[in-house]
Homo-oligomer: A and B are copies of this chain.
Amino acid sequence: MKKRLGSQTARIDSKPRIVSAVSMVGPKEGRGPLKDYFDIILSDDMNGEESFEKAESNMLYTVITEVIKKSNLTENDIDYLFAGDLLNQITSSSFAARDAKIPFYGLYGACSTMTESLSIAAMIMDGGFADYTIAATSSHFSAAERQFRYPLEYGSQRKPDAQWTVTGAGAMLLARQGDFPYITFVTAGKVKDYGITSPDSMGEAMAPAAVDTIKQHFKDTGRTPQDYDVIATGDLGRVGKKITEDLLKKEYGYDMSNIYMDCGEKIFNCDEQDTNSGGSGCGCSAVVDCGYIYKNMLSGKIKKALLISTGALMSTTSNLQGESIPGIAHAVSIEFGGMKNE
């Protein structure tokens, strides 16, 4: 009966299908190397709204409604929306859920939200509680910057290992059937904290959580990196990616070279676009997973992907009170091919 492998992994026997995915990004992301994979590119990151926060919420609402349309469904068909974001009290998600009128469970996993929402959606679909669910998340550079760091008007200088919060929103729609990429395993993360305190060093803070979840996924499932065409962490950036790759090889013997990418490194031409270590934010792995990964799975270029969105769970208050930055990472295994339309 128990569909649990090892200590942290759930086996998703019914293989919920990701029947559509929609990604929406800001102008800067729309000039980056993955621009051809995004469904909607804003020319103005205000998105027709009067505040950054409302712009973000509207982006999330847009990808939710677009993924429903793309699946030829209506809002009434969707059993649950699982969504969260970085803003205090996840207001982007709450206001988007208000307008979407779908039963809503709000999540907070910081930048791990894309795979957190996918994980919970997959388990609840497999439990037989839903025909259709949506997993979604968003972030906005300007909203995050003024909430977590400095008002943009200060023009503060960014540190070399700092990252750039992606302006973007992504949504995936899960269904029971169809010839689409499907979820096979989800590995839940534990919170890991190695004492990093600088909010400019998110990649370093989150790397131990990524390492722990990836290692545990392999242990629980008996898989190795060679079972995947792509292993994609969420937003560790160049610095965190290197730590993760090195630690997994040195500590656990898992060699991910050639198949390992980080969405934060991939979404920008970091040097030309002045994003230092790379992209970050809930929207980073959301748009790369919903855009680049999903479309490459549909076209057959990627058959097996392990997605690991990574979150830094601090607040400005915890930071000011001297707490270090705890990280978390949730993994979802997505595969396509070898399963007939049922």
Interface residues of A (CB under 8 A from B): 1-4, 7-8, 10, 50-51, 53-54, 76, 79-80, 84, 86-91, 94-95, 97-98, 101-110, 116, 119-120, 123-124, 126-131, 147, 188-193, 313-318, 321, 323, 326, 328, 330
Contact residue among B7, B101, B315, B323 (Cβ-Cβ distance under 8 Å from A190):
B101
What is the minimal beta-carbon distance from A132 to any residue of chain B, in angstroms? 11
Kindly report which residue of chain B lies nearest to residue A89, judged by CB atoms.
B315
Complexed CA–CA distance, A193 and B313 (Å): 29
Question: Do residues A321 and B51 form an inter-chain contact, with CB atoms below 8 A?
Answer: yes
* Further contacts, 6 of them, CB under 8 A, given A103-B188, A104-B328, A107-B108: A2-B131, A7-B103, A91-B318, A103-B189, A105-B330, A106-B313
Residue from B90, B101, B104, B191 in contact with A98 in the complex, judged by beta carbons closer than 8 Å: B191
B129, A91: Cβ atoms closer than 8 Å: no
Whether B98 pairs with A105 at a CB distance below 8 angstroms is no
Q: Could you say which of A94, A128, A131, A326 has the most chain B C-beta atoms within 10 Å of its C-beta?
A: A94
A120-B314 Cα distance, complex, nearest whole Å: 24
Using A105-B119, A106-B116, A123-B124 as known contacts, say yes or no to A88 and B191 having CB atoms under 8 A apart. Answer: no
A95–B315 Cα gap in the complex (Å)?
11
Contact between chains at B318 and A95 (CB < 8 Å): yes
For A98, list chain B residues within 8 Å (CB).
Answer: 191-193, 313, 326
Of the candidates A87, A95, A130, A318, the one having the most CB atoms from chain B within 10 angstroms of its own CB is A318
Q: Please name all residues of chain B whose beta carbon is closer than 8 Å to the beta carbon of A147 when the two chains form the complex.
A: 317
Closest chain B residue, CB of each to CB of A51: B321
A130 to B157, CA, bound (A): 47
Q: How far does the alpha carbon of A22 sit from the alpha carbon of B188 in the complex, in Å?
A: 25
Please name all residues of chain B whose beta carbon is closer than 8 Å to the beta carbon of A123 when the two chains form the complex.
123-124, 127, 129
Given B2, B86, B91, B316, which contacts A314 in the complex, CB threshold below 8 Å? B91
A47 CB to closest chain B CB (Å) equals 15
Distance in angstroms between the alpha carbons of A323 and B49 in the assembled complex: 13
A189→B317 CA distance, assembly (Å): 30
Q: Return the 9 tightest CB-CB contacts between A and B, nearest first.
A: A127-B127, A94-B313, A103-B188, A89-B315, A98-B191, A108-B108, A88-B315, A88-B88, A106-B108
The complex places the Cα of A210 from the Cα of B108 at a distance, in Å, of 22
Most chain B CB within 10 A, of A50, A104, A131, A328, is at: A104
A105 with B120: CB separation less than 8 A: yes
A318 near B2 with CB under 8 A, answer no
Say yes or no: A106 contacts B104, CB within 8 Å: no
